[in-house]
A and B are shown apart, each in its own frame.
Chain A
Amino acid sequence: MEIDDFFPKSISSIKNGRDFIGWLCTYTPEEIIVAGGFTPYRMMGSLITNKSESFFPINFCPYLKSAWESLYTDRKNKLKAIVFTTSCDGMRRLIDTFRKYRPDIPAFVLDVPRKKDSASLDYFRETLCEFTRFIEELRGQNITQEELIRAIEIVNKKRILLKRLKEIYESYFPLIDASTYFKIMKISMTSELEIFVEELEKYIDFVCSNSFGNSCTTNNKSTINSWYNLGIIGNFINEDRLWEIFSDLNLKISFQDLCLSTRYFENLVEVASGKSPLQSISERYLKKPSCFREASLGQKLIETEKSIRANGIDGIIFITLKFCDNTMYFFPLLKKALLERLKIPSLYLEIEYQNFSAGQVKTRIQAFLEMLEQTR
């Protein structure tokens, strides 16, 4: 069975379902969108970029160019509004371009702080209040406290299931391969929430109960030593052919730090009495695993080193989309730490978005594996 056979309703839910609100960065609070009765939908962009090349320079984020291609050319979808974040310079230029050339679609710009201190949390909470008002205006109705709490519950449930999937992928390798895992991640961002949660629950039950004839328990954890424990660090790597290479080479990813995975679903919104839901949402989003855009790369490095040691990583594959300054400035720091303190090799890959030299990348990964073999 193909993975699409396990998520048929999720995959078709966007075409057939409610109006959706597009987003481009994992700092976008899906809870508020869901509470407003809309479906949050991550803009995956177009496979081919033609028109967007005339709007942006060559050395511009390829993901944002791809997103603009679909926003500019696809005028038949159910996109009700779009949420931008002040993630990076590229996003801010996309905002300017969007406002000029697509004024017909309501847009909200979420100003996301780059620090996690109390002043930043308070500021972000205020920004989320404005965002809530934007959604309420679109809806034509206020969002109640109960609706917001219910939305938090369902989004948290999705996160818990995605985390469970990640645990199965990492601990019971090769029960689920990289290609399948990241396809599910993509579906999680581009489908109706309740439908996806229901299908993911069934999928996890199926995987656990049908493989090896036993449920996924500690006793059945992968004990095969021939695989290397690899870590992947990067930004928004939405490239099916890359994950197919990982599957072909039987690569075990024991640690992942990507916008498509852990930075999307780690940490839950913790609703507590005495704390407003928006305050809880603000805390969850600002305190989730750090992104490279944050002010302190030093703090990000500490977190990364901790995770690498905790997972017994043999090698790191650092993958970035081209022209992403925030991500590319992190690599020299990481490389130094990997060489001097952690003493593990790394592979640096810069790729385009949806325009990928699969053969070349596969050769480089194979060479990296040979390097790991020699250092074993």
Chain B
Amino acid sequence: MNLKELVKLKLKNNLNRDYIRKILNLIASRPLLHLAGSAFSSVSDKYLNIFSLKSLKDAYSEKYPVAYGSLFLPYELFHGLGITPFLPEVMAGYAAALGLADKALKKATSSWYSQDLCTFHRCGSGAVELDLFPHPKFIVCTNLACDAAQK
């Protein structure tokens, strides 16, 4: 079993915010990220992943203010103000990659979210119901992408 499969299995069996924080502290550590450099298709891909994981680690660390946002927001402003952005709909994509989407989707359905709603947002909503995301200080959204993002 490779590292990715191990992480997926561990998360599935311990699906809570504290465990996610522990996993992020481990895999977002500088030595491990730079060690895995050869696994990326390009240098920019490598630094994009390093940045994303570091950002996630900051969001879960509870050391920095977190704000939820939707797509097409000017996140430069967030970073400039020292606020860690967290995008529930992007996290839904992470959840799917880690094989965790079905739990979040089931939770959303049982919380009266219609199954006709977009899976990204429904998964994000389910994950919020499961209390898997860091708690935000505030939320900023836009309907530029779609109505569901705003909701």
A123 at the interface (CB under 8 A from B): no
A166 at the interface (CB under 8 A from B): no
Majority SS at the chain A contact face: mixed
Contacts A325-B118, A328-B117, A329-B117 given; does A348 touch B150 at CB 8 Å: no
**Contact among B117, B118, B125, B151 with A297 in the assembled complex (CB-CB below 8 Å):** B151
Cα A89 to Cα B121 in complex, Å, equals: 15
Q: Which of B94-151 contact A (CB under 8 A)?
A: 111-114, 116-118, 125, 141, 143, 146-148, 150-151
- Place the interface of chain A in its size category: 10 to 19
Cα A89 to Cα B145 in complex, Å, equals: 9
Number of A-B contacts (CB under 8 A): 38
Q: Which residue of A lies closest to B141 (CB)?
A: A295
Cα A348 to Cα B148 in complex, Å, equals: 19
Residues B150 and A328 in contact, CB atoms below 8 Å apart: no
Q: Which of B56-113 contact A (CB under 8 A)?
A: 111-113
Minimum CB–CB distance from B131 to chain A (whole Å) comes to 15
A331 at the interface (CB under 8 A from B): yes
Which residues does chain A contribute within 8 Å of B148, judged by CB atoms?
325, 329
A358 at the interface (CB under 8 A from B): no
Residues B112 and A89 in contact, CB atoms below 8 Å apart: no
Residues A332 and B113 in contact, CB atoms below 8 Å apart: yes
**Residues 47-60 of chain A, each 1 if its beta carbon lies under 8 Å from chain B, else 0:** 00000000000010
Cα A293 to Cα B116 in complex, Å, equals: 17
Minimum CB–CB distance from A345 to chain B (whole Å) comes to 13
Residues A331 and B114 in contact, CB atoms below 8 Å apart: yes
Cα A325 to Cα B116 in complex, Å, equals: 8
Q: Which residue of A lies closest to B118 (CB)?
A: A325
Cα A192 to Cα B148 in complex, Å, equals: 37
A335 at the interface (CB under 8 A from B): yes
Cα A37 to Cα B148 in complex, Å, equals: 38
Known pairs A328-B114, A331-B112, A332-B112 / 10 extra A-B pairs, C-beta < 8 Å = A88-B147, A295-B141, A295-B150, A325-B117, A326-B147, A326-B151, A328-B116, A328-B117, A329-B151, A335-B112
Q: List 7 A-B contacts (CB under 8 A).
A: A323-B116, A325-B147, A328-B117, A329-B113, A332-B112, A332-B113, A350-B114
